[in-house]
A = this chain, B = another copy of it.
Amino acid sequence: MRIGELARQSGVSVRALRYYEEQGLLESTRTAGGQREFENSAVDRVRFFQTLYAAGLSSRRIAELLPCIDTGGTTKEQQAMLQSEREALAHRIAELHEASARLDVLITASNARSLEAV
């Protein structure tokens, strides 16, 4: 499929797709006229990137993890990278929980005052 179709199906902009390719995250063949041609599997791949981006990974980091993603992470180094990334994610999740808890304190404190007023 061409880039516009991939953009529609994966829900990102054409510009973003070209950027991903530039960063080495996506591959494509070219038509005789020089237009990009993507595999159908690129749709899932791009969606996966979105998930990783949402989780706070950078393009560079995703590119580093790509061999693990494509080959399944066979070497020890790749295993270690996946592990450390998962730990980093766990750390980030904990931070979010912390922030959420802090907000909860504010919310419930305010509710308490509202109740006092009654």
| Interface residues in chain A, defined as those with a beta carbon under 8 Å from any beta carbon in chain B | 48, 51-52, 54-57, 68-69, 72-74, 78-79, 82-83, 85-86, 89-90, 92-93, 95-100, 102-104, 106-107, 109-110, 113
Contact = CB atoms under 8 A, between A and B. Distances in A.
A86 B107 contact: yes
Contact of A89 (B69, B72, B73, B99): B99
Nearest to A52: B99
A78 B83 CA distance: 40
Task: In the A-B complex, list the 10 residue pairs whose CB atoms are closest, starting with the nearest.
Answer: A55-B99, A54-B95, A73-B110, A89-B100, A93-B96, A86-B103, A55-B96, A82-B107, A51-B99, A72-B110
Given A93-B93, A113-B74, A69 B99 contact: no
Integer count of this chain's copies in the complex: 2
Residue among A74, A103, A107 with the most chain B CB within 10 A? A103
21 contacts: A51-B98, A54-B99, A55-B95, A55-B99, A55-B100, A56-B56, A68-B110, A72-B110, A73-B107, A73-B110, A74-B113, A79-B110, A82-B106, A82-B110, A85-B103, A86-B100, A86-B103, A86-B104, A89-B103, A93-B97, A96-B96
